[in-house]
Amino acid sequence: MRSFRNAVTILIALALTVLGSSAQAQTFSVIHNFTGVPRDGANPYAGLTIDQVGNLYGTTRNGGSGYGMVFELKHTNSGFLFRPLYSFAGGNDGASPEAGVIIGPDGSLYGTTTSGGGAPPEGVGTVFNLKPPPAACKTALCPWMETVLQSFNEANGSYPYSEVTVDQAGNLYGTVRSGGERDDGAVYELTFFNGGWTESTAYSFSGSDGQYPLAGVIFDNMGNLYGTTLAGGSSGYGTVFQLVPANGGWRENILYTFQDGNDGAAPYAGLIFDPSGNLYGATVGGGRNGGGTVFELTPSNGSWALKTLYSFNTGAHGCGGPNGTLVMDGAGNVYGTTCSEGAYGYGNVFELTPSGNSWTYTSLHDFTGGSDGAMPYGSVAIDANGKLYGTASQGGTGCAPYGCGVVWEITPQQ
């Protein structure tokens, strides 16, 4: 799936956007360099999750025991302390997580792996849960306990690239790239009952209504689900969809079908809501210069109208616009990453600021491909003080020749 993640450089503003200069009003720092050794990870593709006290949680696709890991960066008075929580063995426990973890209602971690979970053809991904040891840990290296909630196979779906979403009842939802009734991907549900988890297919895509969902799904206040598909739809360039509860199942509504024009193509990232109920997302292709877009979908008279907020150039790596889902702060500013935008072609962290009917694009950090990292794919996380956190999949000072990636922090100017 890395073939979908390649390309974007420099900035191109749409008619209603301005500015593309790199901002100097913040401080960038690397808070962890991955080295790939057994007690460390390598190549983080997903963003981070922040708990209430400022600890960071994330995943690496490689490293650890060789099949990736889940880690914690514990917030201390002097910075962050790295702690491996679980290293995947590549068997029934799963392998190669590319999505982040979420913190469930019980305070434990939930996530997915893109492979493992059994011998082929069953080894095509898992949903897992991690809990701390029941007894107090006497060292900083005590691994957490993993429980596999679901092992996917060719019958019920395969390759979950998305994080999971939890509803008010504690049920889990996510997407699988393949599988479903026509092998075009599906949205699944995991329901907890009588001490165990039962998987069911909430919706199977058929191509014309969407194909290959790679991002997670989100809920609105009415219990409807929203998400994106990388391909499919009437034009074949992806869709934004809604799933509405109906007759004990789910009914799909297609909110938008991408045309590979100025509107964009191939939405890899998921969606977010603003306080007014508008949806925001990104594509890795299309747009004015073919390098992907950031878009807004606004409900209007029973349908949804798309507005392109920003359009990226096509870069050397072929990974297009934002791969990670965008995030919005309390002031309505939108943040994301690209894997080959920026002054050096190794990706950047950007901010889109609303200004009347237009948006101002600012590059907050341009990765150099050296010790600061390279090619960030994941989402940006924001803490209570407005600091930004994220990962870069390559670069840093560990692992020659390309680096095993970093965790970074951007502190706004006070």
**Is the separation of the CB atoms in 320 and 289 below 8 Å?**
no
**Is the separation of the CB atoms in 283 and 238 below 8 Å?**
yes
Burial environment of residue 313 by CB neighbours within 10 A (0 to 12, 13 to 18, 19 or more) = buried
What is the Cα–Cα distance from 404 to 21, expressed in whole angstroms?
28
- pLDDT value at residue 140: 60
**Is the separation of the CB atoms in 410 and 28 below 8 Å?**
yes
Closest CA to 107 of 144, 77, 59, 78: 144
Residue 4 has pLDDT above 80, yes or no: no
**pTM for this model (two decimals):** 0.92
Domains of the chain: 2-412 (2.130.10.130)
pLDDT band, residue 314 (cuts 50/70/90): confident
- pLDDT value at residue 275: 96
**Is the separation of the CB atoms in 16 and 358 below 8 Å?**
yes
Closest CA to 309 of 253, 264, 257: 264
**Across residues 222-242, what is the average pLDDT?**
97
Residue 14 has pLDDT above 50, yes or no: no
Cα angle for residues 365, 367, 368 (degrees, 5° grid): 135
Q: Lowest-pLDDT range, 11-20, 132-141, 165-174?
A: 11-20
Q: Lowest-pLDDT range, 179-183, 309-313, 318-322?
A: 318-322
DSSP calls for 96-152: ---S--EE-TTS-EEEEESBBSSSTTS-B-EEEEEE--SSPPSSTTPPPEEEEEEE-
- pLDDT value at residue 134: 84
State whether residue 239 is helix, strand or coil. Answer: strand
Residue 70 has pLDDT above 50, yes or no: yes
What is the Cα–Cα distance from 198 to 362, expressed in whole angstroms?
45
- pLDDT value at residue 121: 58
| Residues 354-368 pLDDT 10s | 998 899 999 999 999
| Residues 166-225 pLDDT 10s | 999 999 999 999 988 889 999 999 999 888 999 999 999 999 999 999 999 999 999 999
> Residue 327 pairs with which residues in a beta bridge?
335
State whether residue 2 is helix, strand or coil. Answer: helix
**Is the separation of the CB atoms in 268 and 5 below 8 Å?**
yes
Closest CA to 324 of 71, 99, 166: 99
Residue 24 has pLDDT above 90, yes or no: no
Amino acid residing at 213: P
